[in-house]
């Protein structure tokens, strides 16, 4: 990709489609991106070595979405855009004020479309548990597996805000797959992008929400929370794919499967969000070692291989004395973060691969039916010849078209009746 080009080249699209046939393909794409990106500036440091990510203590007074600090950010994969890293106020799953980091990217070309430049607030897919997995860092180095999808949004003239979520980059453990926290982070970075004057994004810009996999959880929760939590945002639509709507159902599906590591990551995330759950007391020696070895793991790294190998096809009981999933307090917190309880106020496009080996089809199907039953405007689309990663690639054009139509003011027909 040449400098100054925001759009995705045809050849690079073919590469992405050909290698994203499995979860391992995500790592291959991230590595391949290194050859398309300009070299990252030498002063780009991992969050653990960068004081920008350490919030002031106590946090300054303010409200969710206020920018605490900001700086221009390298965005080496795409030259025709300007990027900033921001540290902004958000809230935890229990409503406590927290600082979250993220990135706001705006095309340098003037917006020539209808109305004001749209803003897409983006929930990323699984990155891992360690600070080095933070999207604001991987985007700055040019090695982020969703960079090409974000480029598609930028090529349409849209601004994009990408949250790191709680505990990626900033101190503390990442609250992986805790939807209440992730949804707030997605909404609050949209607020931050609008309030940060350098971006030129209007305070009443049309907002779209997008995410796949873990990002599908984030997008779904942002969609549910938007009307009550962030009524100031002009949300026009949400595109959510591969949505882990019911973590208990997802965990039961992953148990003893090849991707059981994701279930254990979620256990760490819930323990971080709700310390009273006390994950440690349920772990045997194998579980304690697994936790120590993987608490800083990133999906796109060589460290993920032993983590997958050491957990694949094993039972929860191989790592615990008693399963946390059987405990009332764990079940209650998982229920609090189950999607489907509230109808999103704006139209939703929900995508799901039929043969998704990570996110069970049935619980995603249940989500769209529950949203429909509550009066939501949902466009539900399934992809027959796809598993989890290919579902991401195949659904992306449809998700982008859906948001483009909402930004253009076209009514969403939905297919709940069908």
The tens digit of pLDDT for each residue in 121-163 reads: 999 999 999 999 999 999 999 889 999 999 999 999 999 999 9
The strand pair at 67-73 and 119-123 is best described as unpaired
- For residues 203-214, give the mean pLDDT: 98
Please tell me the distance from the alpha carbon of residue 47 to that of residue 99, in angstroms, as a whole number: 14
Kindly list the distances between the CA atom of residue 189 and the CA atoms of 9, 100, 135, 186, 385, in Å, as whole numbers in the listed order: 29, 9, 13, 6, 35
Please tell me the distance from the alpha carbon of residue 168 to that of residue 84, in angstroms, as a whole number: 17
- For residues 375-383, give the mean pLDDT: 98
**Summary mean pLDDT of the chain:** 89
Is 78's pLDDT higher than 90? no
Please tell me the distance from the alpha carbon of residue 70 to that of residue 85, in angstroms, as a whole number: 6
- For residues 29-55, give the mean pLDDT: 66
| pLDDT bucket at 38, cuts 50 / 70 / 90 | very low
pLDDT in tens, 6-20: 333 333 333 333 333
| pLDDT bucket at 41, cuts 50 / 70 / 90 | low
The pairs formed by 306-310 with CB atoms below 8 angstroms and a separation of 24 or more are: 307/261, 308/258, 308/259, 308/261
- Strand ranges of the sheet holding 97-107, from the earlier edge strand across to the other edge: 67-73, 81-91, 97-107, 159-163, 119-123, 206-212, 234-241, 348-353, 378-383
Please tell me the distance from the alpha carbon of residue 281 to that of residue 303, in angstroms, as a whole number: 26
Is 56's pLDDT higher than 60? yes
Entry pTM:
0.91
Q: In the numeric block, which tokens belong to residue 79? A: 């030259």
pLDDT in tens, 316-337: 999 999 999 999 999 999 999 9
pLDDT in tens, 273-332: 999 999 999 999 999 999 998 888 898 776 677 778 889 999 999 999 999 999 999 999
């Amino acid at each position: 990709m040449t400098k100054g080009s925001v759009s995705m080249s045809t050849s690079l699209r073919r590469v992405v489609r050909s290698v994203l046939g499995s979860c391992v393909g995500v790592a291959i794409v991230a590595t391949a991106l290194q050859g398309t990106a300009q070299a990252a500036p030498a002063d780009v440091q991992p969050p653990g070595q960068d004081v920008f990510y350490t919030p002031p203590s106590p946090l300054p007074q303010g409200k969710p979405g206020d920018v605490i600090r900001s700086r221009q950010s390298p965005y080496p994969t795409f030259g025709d855009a300007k990027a900033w890293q921001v540290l902004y106020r958000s809230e935890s799953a229990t409503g406590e004020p927290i600082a979250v980091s993220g990135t706001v990217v705006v095309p340098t070309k003037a917006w020539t479309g209808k109305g004001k430049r749209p803003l897409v607030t983006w929930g990323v897919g699984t990155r891992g548990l360690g600070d080095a997995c933070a999207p604001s860092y991987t985007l700055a180095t040019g090695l982020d597996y969703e960079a090409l999808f974000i480029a598609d949004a930028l090529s349409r003239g849209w601004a994009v805000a990408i949250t790191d979520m709680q505990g990626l980059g900033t101190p503390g453990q990442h609250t992986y797959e805790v939807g209440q926290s992730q949804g707030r982070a997605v909404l609050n970075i949209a607020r931050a992008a609008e309030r940060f004057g350098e971006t030129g994004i209007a305070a009443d810009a049309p907002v779209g929400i997008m995410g796949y996999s873990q990002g599908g959880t984030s997008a779904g929760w942002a969609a549910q929370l938007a009307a009550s939590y962030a009524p100031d945002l002009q949300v026009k639509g949400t595109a959510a794919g591969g949505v882990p709507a019911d973590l208990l159902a997802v965990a039961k599906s992953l148990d003893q499967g090849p991707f059981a590591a994701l279930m254990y990551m979620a256990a760490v995330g819930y323990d971080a969000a709700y310390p009273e759950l006390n994950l440690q007391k349920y772990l045997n020696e194998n579980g304690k070692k697994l936790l120590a070895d993987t608490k800083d793991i990133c999906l796109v790294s060589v460290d993920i291989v032993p983590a997958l190998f050491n957990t694949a096809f094993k039972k929860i009981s191989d790592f615990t004395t008693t399963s946390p999933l059987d405990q009332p307090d764990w079940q209650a917190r998982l229920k609090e973060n189950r999607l489907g309880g509230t109808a999103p106020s704006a139209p939703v496009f929900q995508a799901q691969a039929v043969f998704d080996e990570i996110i069970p089809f049935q619980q995603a199907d249940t989500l769209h039916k529950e949203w429909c039953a509550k009066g939501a405007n949902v466009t539900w689309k399934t992809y027959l010849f796809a598993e989890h990663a290919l579902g991401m690639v195949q659904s992306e054009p449809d998700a982008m078209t859906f948001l483009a139509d909402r930004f253009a003011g076209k009514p969403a027909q939905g297919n709940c009746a069908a």
